[in-house]
Amino acid sequence: MMINELKLKAFAKINLVLDITGRREDGYHDLCSVMQEIGLYDTVVLRKVPSGVHLKVEFDDGVERGFSLVPDDTNNLAYRAAELLLADAKAEGGVEIVLHKNIPVAAGLAGGSTDAATVLRGLNVLYDLYYDSRRLCELGVKLGADVPFCIMGGTALAEGIGEKLQAMPIPGSVCVLLAKPPVAVSTKEVYQAYDRLLETDPPKPADMEQVRAAIGKGDAEAITSCLYNALALVTEPLHPEIVHLREEIMKEGAKGALMSGSGPSVFGLYEDLQEAKAAAGRLQERFPNTFFAAVPFCYNHKELD
C-alpha cells in the first residue's frame, strides 16, 4: 500500500548526566551525557506533495512555553531536515509538514532537534529511502548535536558533540515531573561561564563507571544517585529561580531533581506516575507561570500513529 501521509510523535529528552569533557577548536564542547527520551512530545504530520517543502506551525495557548520563538520558515529545524534529506536522496517530490508544538522552546529539552529527527525518520518511510539509522544520524548531526540521539531515542550515552551514541539499558518504571520556569537562559552565556570556571576551578569529572552501574540497576533511586549536570554549576547561580524550583520539586517527594541540558527546565524523578501528576498539580497552583508536566520515561520512539 502506498503511504501518502504519516502522523508521528517527536519526543523530548532530558539529560540524566551531562558532563563537559573538553573544548574544541571550533567552539563546540565535547560532552559525556546520558540522555533519556521522555513521554512529552510534539506532533508531526508529513504529507507527500509534488514539490518543495511547506511548513505550518501550530500550538495551543496556555502557560507560556516560548512558542513565539519558533520560526515558521526555512530556519525551522523541521523544514531544514526535510530539505536536507530530500536533496541528499534526490527524491522526486516534496512534503507538507504540519508541526504541532507542545514541548517548551529553548528549554534544554531538545524540542527543535526532535522535530528534525522525526522529519528525517518519517520521510525515510514516506519516500521508501531505506537509509539506516547510522546514515540518518550522519545527516542529522549537521542540523544539531542532539539530533542523532533524537533519531535513536531510548536511553543512551552520548559523547563527542553528541554524535557518538551507545545504547544503554532502559531503566524500569521511572517517571519524570518536568518544570519549565519563565526564565530565558542563553546557552552561549552558560558555556562561556563554564569555560571561565574550567580555567579557575575545574569541576571533577563524573564517574562514568558509577553512572553505568546506576543506569544498569535502573530504578529511580539508583538513577538519582548519579544525576549530574556540569552546566548547572554555572546556570543555577545566574538564575536562582531554577534552584528554588528544584528544591520545591524535592519537597514534593521527588527521589532526585536536576536541571536538564543548559536549562532552564528542571526535572524530578518519581517511581509512580500518579504521584508525579499530583505533585505537578500542586506545584502548578503555586507557580502559575511555570509549565509543568508529568510523563514516563519513554522508549517507543519508532511508534507510528
> Mind telling me the catalytic residues?
13, 146
Where do contacts with ligand ATP occur on this chain (CB under 6 A)?
Answer: 69-71, 75-78, 105-113, 115, 146, 261
Rank residues 111 and 154 by Cβ distance to ligand ATP and give the closer one: 111
Secondary element (H or E) of residue 277:
helix 273-286
CA dihedral 305, 138, 86, 81 (to 10 degrees): 60
Secondary element (H or E) of residue 175:
strand 175-180
Rank residues 42 and 252 by Cβ distance to ligand ATP and give the closer one: 42
Shortest gap between Cβ of 91 and ligand ATP (angstroms)?
21
Residue with cell 540524566: 16
Rank residues 9 and 252 by Cβ distance to ligand ATP and give the closer one: 9
Q: Minimal CB distance to ligand ATP: which residue?
A: 112
Shortest gap between Cβ of 130 and ligand ATP (angstroms)?
26
Are 230 and 166 a contacting pair, CB within 8 Å? no
Shortest gap between Cβ of 103 and ligand ATP (angstroms)?
7
Q: What secondary structure letter does DSSP report for 47?
A: E
Of 225, 206, 217, the C-alpha closest to 169 is: 217
Rank residues 108 and 252 by Cβ distance to ligand ATP and give the closer one: 108
Question: Sign of the CA dihedral 118, 120, 123, 129?
Answer: negative
End-to-end CA distance of the chain: 16
Are 101 and 42 a contacting pair, CB within 8 Å? yes
